[in-house]
Structure 1
Amino acid sequence: MIKKDLLRKLPKIDELLKEDIVKDSLKDTMRTLVIDSLRASIDQYREYILEDEIQDFKKEDILSRFQEILETKKEPNLKGVINAVGVVIHTNLGRSILPEEAVKNVIEVTQNYNNLEYDLKKGERGSRYSHIEELIKKVTGAEAALVVNNNAAAVMLVLNTLCKDKEAIVSRGQLVEIGGSFRVPDVMVFSGAELVEVGTTNRTHLYDYENNINENTGVLLKVHTSNFKILGFTDDVPLEELVALGKEKSIPVIEDIGSGSLIDFSKYNFTYEPTVQESIKKGVDVVTFSGDKMLGGPQVGIIVGKKEFVDKMKKNQLTRALRIDKMILAALEGTMKYYLDEKEAVKKIPTLHMMLSSKDEHKKRAYKLKRKLKNKVGDFNFVVGEDYSMVGGGSMPIERIPTYVIKVKSNKYKPEELEVKLRKNKIPIIVRVANDEVIMDVRTMFDRDFDMVAETFAGL
């Protein structure tokens, strides 16, 4: 059949709307989506014809493709995936998983009206920040707290409030770049603060700060380099010395901890990371940190510190532009409450549990998954082996967590082909490829994922 005849054979949308399959779809799907899917199916077959990819087709072929397209259109673009990569705080995969209590809180406030800005005791307008400030103060030991939409915003708000049109002194070795090409110097420029770099990349001394202080100095800024390490011939100014200098010169000391550790990970045989509580005890005036990294909650930037400074930030007009909504507040409260008891936090906050759970626990889970795979799959070879997970999220860059993985080999697919098929699954399974094998790390998988993974392999 020639192209012209095939093109004439393509059905009209009005004609397809009379088909039973389409009528059934219209019962529970918006008409716009149905028509868009019909049009996309027809267009795809038109392209096949013009590119000589088909010699003939039936109406049923177009309807079948229509159903596939419609199902895809009905799915959300932002969807859940199975993280089998072994990176706990995976920036590309949404960073931290919310704990159960946080999820319950979000559902409660989104399904009902709520007291977001209403004081139930006084019966009058209230502040959204009152729902979380006391809890943050109790956990961190700070005098005051404020929450904005991410840590870059927190740093910008602090500098804009305390250092606009003034100089912020920071060590050259702390001018980091975080994910998405966002750089501390750029954030400082937008805040209105003037950056003054002191010291060298690997060594900064107290006199480097002292020699650059003048009448226009607004703050002394310390940035924790959580996403890289400089090793060897290095020197940095201890926080206590910087705080003492700030007090002597009446200049606020700001620390951006970034990853937001609220527990001492060195107690669990991890590399030491400074905690928010320690910084507050050492007298830092303002500390900023993220909510969706080591803290294990939603994406927020948390500002804690001396009341006189935080109160100024609350009055800054930027605060309204950077404020968080009811869902984030609910999620943050549900997460922070666990930190009232560290044992509960380690047990029930998924990020902490994934990081700190024992290697032996994941060995048992790896064999559990292997049994499920063996029961359903015959075309693949599954081997349980030892490997390492990573913390991720720009935190603890040199930390490797011993874990167990399942290594997959197949005569049917090359590793790269199998990775694509798993990634394009209805529920995407994100794996890594190394040494000519597909590797699935059970540390970042949930037990609830195992059946889906086994069914997916069975269908390949």
Structure 2
Amino acid sequence: MSDQPAPEDPRRSVPRTDALLAEPAVQAAAERLGRELVKDVIARVQGRIRAAELPAADAVGAVLDALPPTAGSLRPVLNATGVLVHTNLGRAPLSPAAIEAITAAAGTTDVELDLATGRRGPRGEAAIGALLAAVPAAEAAIVVNNCAAALALVATALGQGRELVIARGELVEIGDGFRIPELLETTGARLREVGTTNRVALEDYRRALGPDTGAVLKVHPSNFVVRGFTRAVEVGELAGGLRGTGVPLVADVGSGLLRPHPALPEEPDLQSTLAAGADLVLSSGDKLLGGPQAGLVLGRTDLVQRLRRHPLYRALRVDKTTLAALEATLRGPVPPVQQLLAAQPDELRARARAVLERLTAAGIDADVVDAPARVGGGGAPEHPLAGVAVSLPAGFAEPLRRGQRPVVGYLEDDRTLLNLRSLAPADDAALADAVLEVAAAWT
């Protein structure tokens, strides 16, 4: 028989849960993140110790390392896709001003209280005022929780049991199988389709009008374009043709561009659409506007008030944090999406070369290449933006997504491209750090 003592069973050295929770750093984390969340992490660390994967002496450090930064599961991601408004990545990143406003509004606020009188006050008045100041062609406005909600509210209030006239070429399907005609029909409105898939004329609209017409809708086709033998009726022409009929013209412009932008010459904007004669205009708040998810409805006072008084509005209205973020986006400094849209190719190349220097110094196979970028979110589908990317071997794509600070790029020609057009300059260092971490794990 051997005189050597039997190795100690690692299960005997597993620290107790209450002992780990009593550690000051772990206790502080439990107060910040919640006791149950921290206990789940402790249980996983204890399992690693039982499996002899981790020394018991390292338990506290392992628990702290495994804790998430917040009690929520959403993680900050570096957007290197070249898509400025990426739906899968939460669309527009909020400005620091909007984030501060959300924090201020997170507690008890005067969202619906007049502090001077102590009585109930108008909800979201400051955010509405900021929106009207940004779009002076609008007489009034309301905010709901997204653009689809805005369209549903309009269709219900103006078209329930009546007809909504719309061109066949605008009965579109957008992301995730969402179809405009299906949404409109669920409101109880009847669709009166006019024209053909590729061509519609003003007379097509005029012939469709009747005593049951609730409104004429003009829906921006968003992420597709029909070219060739086509004809469309622009808002100004359509508004002129409807003048005197009493039928409101509602234009869904989608992307939330406040005013014309030189980089997007064909993208409709709120101000121009209303000035051209639309009675109501709808758009998203979290695309080119650069704010929180919201559906914006602007236009004639009588129509906006009709929507506000409809019972469905109560179910679709936004919360105090959305109102705060929207107001701060409109009144504050230029939001990140607008900064990304204004980026110049020379600036992007200089940033890419700075990242490249760090990577090549570490022996990484990297290069700088021109790579087109896109607005995303259904905006400007035929107007690619100039972009510059850092090019890496294809094997970097997955580990970058799985990293401590996930980086989402894309594969092209068997290379991983990290497009800086969709990335804030302040995140360039974090991007390089993430690539270096992946490369270090392979050596």
Category of TM-score, reference length = shorter chain: 0.7 to 0.9
Q: Shift of residue 385 of structure 1? A: 1.8
Change in 2 beyond 3 A, CA 1:37/1:211: same
Q: 1:32 aligns with which of 36, 50, 53?
A: 36
Residue 131 (structure 2) aligns with: 136
Residue 124 (structure 1) aligns with: 119
Matches within 5 A, 1:6-405: 11=11, 16-17=16-17, 23=23, 26-30=26-30, 31-40=35-44, 60=56, 63=59, 67=63, 70-72=66-68, 76-110=72-106, 113-140=108-135, 141-265=137-261, 268-337=262-331, 348-375=334-361, 377-378=362-363, 380-405=364-389
* Residue-by-residue CA offset, 1:115-161 (whole Å, 9 max, x unaligned): 21122444421111312222222322211111111000001111111
CA distance in 1: counterparts of 2:54 and 2:335, whole angstroms: 54
Residue 449 (structure 1) aligns with: 427
CA distance in 1: counterparts of 2:288 and 2:294, whole angstroms: 12
CA distance in 2: counterparts of 1:57 and 1:14, whole angstroms: 12
User: Contact between 1:37 and 1:69, CA under 8 Å: does it hold in 2?
Assistant: no
User: Contact between 2:41 and 2:67, CA under 8 Å: does it hold in 1?
Assistant: no
CA RMSD for the aligned pairs?
A: 2.8
Residue 419 (structure 1) aligns with: 397
Change in 2 beyond 3 A, CA 1:64/1:117: closer
Residue 433 (structure 1) aligns with: 411
Q: Shift of residue 26 of structure 1? A: 4.0
Unaligned runs of 5+ in 1: 1-8, 49-55, 339-343, 410-414
Structure 1 SS opposite 2:97: helix
Q: Shift of residue 94 of structure 1? A: 1.1
User: Contact between 1:150 and 1:301, CA under 8 Å: does it hold in 2?
Assistant: yes
Change in 2 beyond 3 A, CA 1:57/1:382: closer
Quick one: percent identity of the two aligned structures? 32
Question: Which amino acid is the alignment partner of residue 33 of structure 1?
Answer: L
Q: Shift of residue 101 of structure 1? A: 2.4
**When you count strand as a share of all residues, which structure comes out higher?**
1
User: Contact between 2:38 and 2:67, CA under 8 Å: does it hold in 1?
Assistant: no
Structure 1 SS opposite 2:403: coil
Q: Shift of residue 307 of structure 1? A: 0.7
CA distance in 1: counterparts of 2:207 and 2:299, whole angstroms: 26
Q: Shift of residue 21 of structure 1? A: 9.1
Query: Is 445-454 or 209-218 further displaced after alignment?
Result: 445-454
Q: Shift of residue 43 of structure 1? A: 6.5
User: Contact between 1:174 and 1:222, CA under 8 Å: does it hold in 2?
Assistant: yes
Structure 2 SS opposite 1:407: strand
TM-score of the superposition, structure 1-length normalised? 0.84
User: Contact between 1:33 and 1:73, CA under 8 Å: does it hold in 2?
Assistant: no
* Residue-by-residue CA offset, 1:198-244 (whole Å, 9 max, x unaligned): 11111111222222222211111110112111000000122223223
Q: Shift of residue 393 of structure 1? A: 0.8
Residue 6 (structure 2) aligns with: none
CA distance in 2: counterparts of 1:295 and 1:151, whole angstroms: 13
CA distance in 2: counterparts of 1:329 and 1:73, whole angstroms: 26
Question: Which amino acid is the alignment partner of residue 232 of structure 1?
Answer: G
CA distance in 2: counterparts of 1:59 and 1:14, whole angstroms: 9
Structure 1 SS opposite 2:67: helix
Structure 1 SS opposite 2:374: strand
Q: Shift of residue 170 of structure 1? A: 0.3
Q: Shift of residue 402 of structure 1? A: 1.3
Q: Shift of residue 250 of structure 1? A: 1.6
User: Contact between 2:162 and 2:212, CA under 8 Å: does it hold in 1?
Assistant: yes
TM-score of the superposition, structure 2-length normalised? 0.87
CA distance in 2: counterparts of 1:457 and 1:228, whole angstroms: 35
Change in 2 beyond 3 A, CA 1:73/1:106: closer
Query: Is 276-285 or 446-455 further displaced after alignment?
Result: 446-455
Aligned pairs, number:
426
Change in 2 beyond 3 A, CA 1:41/1:232: same
CA distance in 2: counterparts of 1:435 and 1:68, whole angstroms: 40
Structure 2 SS opposite 1:234: coil
